[in-house]
């Protein structure tokens, strides 16, 4: 799914006003970390190559390792355990992060498919490419807006 809707889902699943901004960031974080890596590693060239789709069609192996790592349940689980041990509530931000990964499993394929237990395995599910099937984004955004509309009017 797209990064903006991941942020929206993060804010939706963690509705506490004190955490909603952080929840949105946590929901988008698996995509934001590789982008930050790309910016630091490749500078302004990264933006032009992303915009022209060259990078999307042929990313570097270093970028893909970061992408697979941030989309894996293994480091997400380890981070959650560490947060749970040392904080009283910050570990809750793992929920939007996990939700991001779970949404990406059926909506990514090929080299962009979510490597579920990376770095231990390259195992992945070839789902539908959300960027090639507009109905996926339409359903995603419709459900996201509907849930927020309902929750907003109930509370």
pLDDT the model gives residue 88: 83
pLDDT digits (tens, 9 = 90+) for 1-26: 899 999 999 999 998 889 999 999 99
Domain boundaries, the chain: 3-154
pLDDT the model gives residue 43: 87
Which range has the worst mean pLDDT, 36-45, 68-77, 114-123?
36-45
* pLDDT > 70? residue 38: yes
From the CB of residue 142, how many other CB atoms can be counted at a distance below 10 Å? 10
76 Cβ partners below 8 Å, 6+ apart? 94, 97, 98, 101
* pLDDT > 80? residue 29: yes
Mean pLDDT score, 132-140: 94
pLDDT band with cut points at 50, 70 and 90 for residue 155: low
- For the chain, the average pLDDT equals 93
Q: What is the distance between the terminal CA atoms of the chain, rounded to a whole angstrom? A: 28
Going by C-alpha positions, the residue among 153, 110, 142 that lies closest to residue 8 is 142
Q: With H, G, I as helix, E, B as strand and everything else as coil, classify residue 18.
A: coil
Radius of gyration in angstroms for the set of CA atoms belonging to the chain, rounded to a whole number: 16
pLDDT the model gives residue 145: 96
pLDDT the model gives residue 128: 93
Q: What percent of the chain has pLDDT over 90?
A: 74
């Amino acid at each position: 799914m797209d990064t903006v809707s991941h942020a929206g889902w993060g804010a939706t699943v963690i509705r506490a006003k004190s955490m909603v901004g952080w929840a949105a960031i946590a929901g988008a974080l698996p995509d934001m970390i590789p982008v930050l890596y790309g910016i630091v590693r490749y500078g302004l060239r990264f933006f032009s190559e992303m915009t022209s789709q060259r990078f999307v069609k042929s990313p570097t192996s270093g970028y893909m390792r970061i992408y697979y790592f941030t989309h894996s349940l293994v480091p997400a689980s380890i981070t959650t355990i560490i947060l749970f041990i040392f904080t009283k509530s910050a570990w809750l931000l793992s929920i939007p992060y996990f939700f991001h990964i779970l949404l990406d499993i059926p909506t990514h394929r090929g080299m962009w498919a979510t490597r579920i237990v990376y770095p231990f395995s390259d195992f992945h599910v070839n789902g539908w490419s959300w960027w090639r099937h507009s109905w996926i984004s339409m359903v995603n955004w419709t459900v996201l807006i509907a849930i927020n509309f309902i929750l907003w009017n109930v509370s």
